[in-house]
Structure 1
Amino acid sequence: MKSAHTQRWLALTAIASTFTVAATAAQATGYPDQPITLVVPYSAGGGADNAARIIAEGMGAVSGQSIVIENKGGASGSIGASYVARAKPDGYTVLYDSSAFTINPGLRKLPYDAKKDFIPVSQAVSVPNILVAAEKSSFNNLSDFIAAAKAKPGHYTYASYGPGSLAQMAAELLKKDTGIDAVHIPYKGGAPAIVDVMGGQVDVYFANAASSLNYVTSGKLKALAVSSDKRMPELPNVATVAESDPSLKDFNVYEWNGFFLPAGTAPDVVAKLQDLVQKALARPETRDKLAKLGLTPVGSNAEEFARFIDTEQARWAEVIKANNITVN
């Protein structure tokens, strides 16, 4: 038989537990009840930053809270990612990263563990790449380039907007799957890469469609192939990479951006941020603005995004190992 003291203690414990559960539920129900800091680990004015600001505007309209963009560029996004990994896991410091998130672990010694220190929340947008060449190039399609590269190993060049970028990885995947050899010419950004490809100083470049489509449609660049699984509606006569060669049947590469939270964030907060992102991306105003940048809204759920991240990280780790890719 329990003593009166024990019974009193149990009653008080039950009351305290009830208040704790109620307080937790109230906190989750009210999220977000203060401004959210959205960390973009790249410079202001770039592709990820521009998309983040459009989506943040939509998130603010949906939630009634301010979404504050904080740019923390450097080291291919790893400086900003490291900052978020160390942040309080309360849902108010969020990472908005890109394809580099899944490439960096295979290339760099990072101050965080990409798998253990983050919770993927939602893929925000995606955009295919266009393999482009100079308008006067002798290549008219990807098959032409592959044949030439096989005939002269190490003779032809490909551009990227930096070591470890998706533009480099797409070309390296092409090399791995076809056995060709081409020389990497990295640039400090996509703009100078496009200029040199147009001028014929570099042979080809897997350019982000958002930045290169206008050059293709205006005739300043020639599209050899698109990296998506289906042809782009804007370029119906340009084959996909997978259509161009039997060895490339599984080639399917997109640049993307997405939302991450620090590990340890409560599941209900993750769910509420996911819902907020999805509602923002469903707004016609948000979709229209993203479309003008050539971006396709995605708005996946946390489980879908986590599977996508695992698949991408494994794929790029395999390419990096197979091609012995290193960065300084």
Structure 2
Amino acid sequence: MWTDLPSGFRERASGGVGPAPPGNPAGCGRRAFLGASLLAGAGAGALARPAAAQDPWPSRPVSIVVPGPAGGTGDVISRSIVPMLQQSFGRPVVVDNRPGANGEVGSRFVARGAPDGYTLLMGSIGHFAINFALRPGLSYDPVKDFEPITLVATTPNVLVVHPRNPARDVASLVAWMKERGDRTSYATSGVGSSDQLTMELFKQLTGTQAQHVPYPGGPPALTDVMAGNVEMAFFNLGNVTSHVREGRLRAIVITSAERSSLLPEVPTGVEAGLRDLVVTSWQAMMVPSGVPAPIVSRLHGDITAALRQPQVVQRMAEIGFTVSASSPAECRAFQISEIGRWKALIERQGIRPE
């Protein structure tokens, strides 16, 4: 499906009521925020006309750097919009996969690149928020080093257990976990991953314990949960939908604000009494800081237009994502609120990088 903003996004981006805990560092009221957004948009539009005559951007190929492997979420999303962007730009658009160090390699490459609008970064919640909150020595600053273009896509996480587990819902799972104490384990795709932080949030909200078992990526973690070697895990919706439907996993709760049409029988955290268990994994498009405002405005218009195309919406739905869009200012405010949210959780739960 297509949505202009994910549920709760506009409220959090504007400093209003939303699923994030108190203390949202975005720090801007709705009226001031919207006013700033309008002024920014007006300024970009005013600059665009003379700049177009001086610099016919783009005059050469544009690259989208994905700080992850081919076939990953960022790669799939990027490749889905390439045909439309090539048509809009009149130039080739190349997807450049640069995985390594939890996305630090590719993100740093773009951060240190020329601010000319020819190198874009398709990054995730990890690259633009969690890494910064978790790793003090990160070699790039996701706020200072990047200019946001738009939020791109979002998906909730789903808590799943092996079908042999006696728990059928949040209440029975919490009771089972409390009875077992620290003998319960949960799998993740790695330290500092969105799925780990979602599980740590669940533990905090329910007063439960569970031992963290990190894996080198989502696929091996999913394999071990399905084999019953680890008791539970949070995964992105698209990664577990077919397994839940076919009975290989049991879904306990979903972290979206509303139930998903892909798994309509699975209750939300809010329905289960966990008001703050509203979490989205997200992707956003950014460029190095210093890219001229007219180019940022052009990129925003062309990328959001590509995201609206039915074939892109359909491709995102196939992998469990909802295509989303925002203004650059809204994207930045949301990013800052996410950094604050996860930094607070990381400190409370004592999470440390590997």
TM over 0.5: yes
User: Superposition pairs for residues 164-175 of structure 1, below 5 Å?
Assistant: 164-175=192-203
Structure 1 portions without partners, runs of 5+: 1-20
1:24 to 2:24 alignment: no
1:33 to 2:55 alignment: no
In 2: Cα distance, 1:74 partner to 1:84 partner: 14
Within the candidate set 307, 315, 337, 1:281 is matched to: 307
Residue aligned with 1:153, SS? helix
Structure 1 residue aligned with 2:227? 199
Residue identity opposite 2:265 in structure 1: N
In 2: Cα distance, 1:144 partner to 1:37 partner: 49
In 2: Cα distance, 1:22 partner to 1:261 partner: 21
In 1: Cα distance, 2:277 partner to 2:64 partner: 32
Deviation at 1:69, TM superposition (A): 0.7
Q: With a CA cutoff of 8 Å and minimum separation of 6, indicate the structure with the bigger relative contact order.
A: 2
In 2: Cα distance, 1:22 partner to 1:302 partner: 20
State whether residues 277 and 299 of structure 1, in contact with CA within 8 Å, keep that contact through their aligned partners in structure 2.
no
State whether residues 103 and 317 of structure 1, in contact with CA within 8 Å, keep that contact through their aligned partners in structure 2.
yes
Residue aligned with 1:308, SS? helix
State whether residues 51 and 294 of structure 2, in contact with CA within 8 Å, keep that contact through their aligned partners in structure 1.
no
1:154 to 2:185 alignment: no
Deviation at 1:57, TM superposition (A): 2.7
Structure 1 residue aligned with 2:125? 99
In 1: Cα distance, 2:162 partner to 2:96 partner: 37
Structure 2 residue aligned with 1:265? 291
Residue identity opposite 2:232 in structure 1: V
Tell me how many residue pairs correspond in the alignment: 306
In 2: Cα distance, 1:150 partner to 1:292 partner: 36
Instruction: Please report the RMSD computed on the Cα atoms of aligned residues, expressed in angstroms.
Output: 1.7
In 2: Cα distance, 1:192 partner to 1:112 partner: 29
Within the candidate set 107, 112, 127, 2:140 is matched to: 112
In 2: Cα distance, 1:54 partner to 1:25 partner: 27
Structure 2 residue aligned with 1:17? none
Residue aligned with 1:39, SS? strand
In 1: Cα distance, 2:263 partner to 2:49 partner: 55
Instruction: State the TM-score, normalized to the length of structure 2.
Output: 0.83
1:45 to 2:67 alignment: no
Structure 1 residue aligned with 2:213? 185
**Identity in percent:** 35
State whether residues 161 and 193 of structure 1, in contact with CA within 8 Å, keep that contact through their aligned partners in structure 2.
yes
Q: Deviations over 1:286-307 (max 9, x none)?
A: 2222222222110222111111
Deviation at 1:23, TM superposition (A): 6.5
Residue identity opposite 1:298 in structure 2: S
Structure 2 residue aligned with 1:15? none
1:71 to 2:90 alignment: no
State whether residues 269 and 276 of structure 2, in contact with CA within 8 Å, keep that contact through their aligned partners in structure 1.
no
Q: Deviations over 1:260-290 (max 9, x none)?
A: 1111111221111111110100111222222
Residue aligned with 2:233, SS? strand
Q: Deviations over 1:134-193 (max 9, x none)?
A: 122211112222222223321211111111110101001112222211111111121111
Q: Deviations over 1:179-222 (max 9, x none)?
A: 21111111112111111111111111111111110111111111
Which contiguous aligned blocks of 4+ residues in structure 1 show a shift greater than 6 angstroms?
none
In 2: Cα distance, 1:319 partner to 1:166 partner: 12
Deviation at 1:32, TM superposition (A): 2.6
Instruction: State the TM-score, normalized to the length of structure 1.
Output: 0.89
